[in-house]
A = this chain, B = another copy of it.
Amino acid sequence: MDLDRKIRYGMVGGGPGAFIGEVHRMAAALDGKIELVAGAFSSKPEKSRKMGRKLHLSEERVYDSYQEMAEKESELPAAERIDFVSITTPNHMHFPVAKAFIEAGIHIVCDKPMTNTIEEAEELCRLVSDHDIIFALTHNYTGYPMVKEARKMVADGKLGNLRKVVVEYPQGWLSDTNDDEIWRLDPDKAGISSAIGDIGTHAENLVEYITGQQMKELYADIHSFGEGRELEDDANMLVHYEEGLRGILYVSQISVGDENDLNIRLYGDEAALEWSQENPNYLHVKYSDGPEEIYKRGNPYLSEAAEAGNRIPPGHPEGFIEAFANIYSNVADVLAARLKGEEPDELSLDFPTVQDGARGVHFIHKAVESGKKKTWVDMKYDPPASD
């Protein structure tokens, strides 16, 4: 049975002009399961209130600070208060905001990278566990149905033993820019990394999601092409995974003309697969002894997991927002199950966790360490677990 109301959420960050906050709101709204009822959209109260009006929120649910929001929302009666909060601030605020809401007993959807330090990440793992919180990190690229199909193919052994992976994520938006306006280049906000933190973690997470394998060791060659930049805008990495898979992971923000060109090619000893984020409705599978195949979103021959992430028929392209919305939709379903006292459907648990977030933060720190020391680094890592 469906829940008898929509899931309610509030947002921290996502004020006027913020790209990713807007994406979160569209993603949350898409399926009609979730409604936005509160927010602290900016560290500047006037900006927050302006955004609240634009979003048609009631005035008393628009807050001057995230602290006020966590406190006031937790004091509201259960029939009114938010079920979860979406954190869409710059990186350095993820941790304090998440901590405040977790301690208020409010569930979390958090943008990536999860925190700026490993210590913060691990503390979040423990807090989530202690407070029994549902926590989703928006590694949205794993929300694409054809990525879910890829994972299923690997799990089913269609590729055989995995041998080689090439995952690449070139962007060009920092090839020629006024750095002062870009918080991702400011170590105080972005942390120790620009390219690896912003997009490298997506690439790392994508490989782990599809393959189920974790990194064993890594060698990074990092560089800043932009004059005077403290943080790297380009990183080329050699990677070895625990069960023998090896290959390349590279990210770039100075690849002029590239937009958001996340691609993965994965080779086993029996077949290979290839997926491109900019053309996400297709999954290519290649063999040594037969024609290449193109699997297409929305078709009945796909797996249950791909079908669960699908909204409209084949040939009607779904995109970035729809994939993003799959995280929200799953979180809503898990929350609804909990509110109803039921076990969540297995497929609805398919979203990135606080542990995935900690693994991402660990990845950033180790990759930058490798780049600076010019040595291989040990990537084995077990973040504090949930149970």
Contact = CB atoms under 8 A, between A and B. Distances in A.
Interface of A: 2, 4-6, 19, 22-23, 25-26, 29-32, 36, 53-56, 163-164, 166, 168, 170-173, 175-176, 219, 221, 223, 225, 234, 236, 238, 246-248, 250, 252, 254-261, 265, 267-272, 277-281, 285-296, 298-301, 311-322, 374, 376
21 contacts: A2-B54, A5-B56, A25-B32, A26-B32, A29-B29, A32-B36, A163-B225, A172-B267, A176-B269, A219-B221, A254-B269, A256-B268, A258-B315, A259-B314, A260-B314, A261-B315, A280-B317, A289-B300, A291-B296, A312-B320, A317-B320
A62 B186 CA distance: 52
Determine the main DSSP class of A at the interface with B. loop
A316 B257 contact: no
Contacts of A246: 221, 223, 234, 236
B258 A26 contact: no
Contact of A258 (B6, B272, B278, B281): B272
B30 A26 contact: yes
A328 to B, nearest CB: 12
B248 A250 contact: yes
Given A256-B286, A292-B293, 7 more contacts: A164-B254, A172-B286, A173-B313, A254-B267, A258-B315, A261-B315, A291-B294
A150 to B, nearest CB: 13
Contacts of A176: 269, 288
Given A269-B176, A301-B291, A234 B164 contact: yes
B320 A316 contact: yes
Nearest to A159: B256
A316 to B, nearest CB: 4
Contact of A256 (B260, B271, B320): B271
A80 to B, nearest CB: 15
A255 B272 contact: yes
A292 B257 contact: yes
Contact of A301 (B23, B32, B55, B289): B289
Most buried by B among A260, A269, A288: A288
Contacts of A2: 53-54
